[in-house]
Structure 1
Amino acid sequence: MTPVRINDAIREIAFEPRLGLDEAVEKYYAPDLIHVSDGRARDRAEFGAMCAGLRARIAEGQVTILDELCDGSTYATRHRYRMTLADGTVVHREIYHFATLAPDGRFQRVHETGFDVE
């Protein structure tokens, strides 16, 4: 198992898309994904729809890993992203990301929360 990394997923899904959205989501997220962000749970279809909305609004973005740990099927990061939306709005957030990896290394369960950074 070669585990995926969240910075690669964010870049390919939102900031530097080279793949179609469905292909990018398939590459990084297991079919039985449960993604919980700030208390809101989404299955993979709902997560993909959320990503489609974001992808349509993002003009550019960068992601930086501050801390990263992978131990077996457990993966965790503290990362920051900064993105500029098509309307000029800048979003800068720090995220605490905790995941369980599927046997093939893709994200299967994700719990994350974060805060705005000035």
Structure 2
Amino acid sequence: MAELIPLPDPALRRARRIDPLWRHLVGEHLRRRRHERGETLADVAERAGVSVQYLSEIERGLKEPSSEILSAVVGALDASLLELTSGIAEDLRATAAAPAPARSAGPAAYALAA
């Protein structure tokens, strides 16, 4: 007979802070910087020496680039690794300081309680 494993209490999951993945933070920051410059994926990818597809995957947090690729992309955006990491740190500080949004009990919450 199979053992039943109880689901974690939803209140505990909400109380526990989950840090975002580094690749998501990097991708969001790179995309924001590219948009601020008014450039396309093709513009930046060509200067960085990577494919448009790969740069898109980096920006969407699907790929975790090597330090060499990351340096090339950041350089193609006329930035440095220091600017990238400090910008991400500032984003994280702002997110941590902001009050958590109120969460409503959606249909999934009722399904777990049933």
For normalisation by structure 1, the TM-score amounts to 0.23
Rg bigger for which structure? 2
Of Structure 1 and Structure 2, the greater strand share is in 1
Scaled by the length of structure 2, the TM-score of the pair is 0.23
Q: Which has the higher helix share?
A: 2
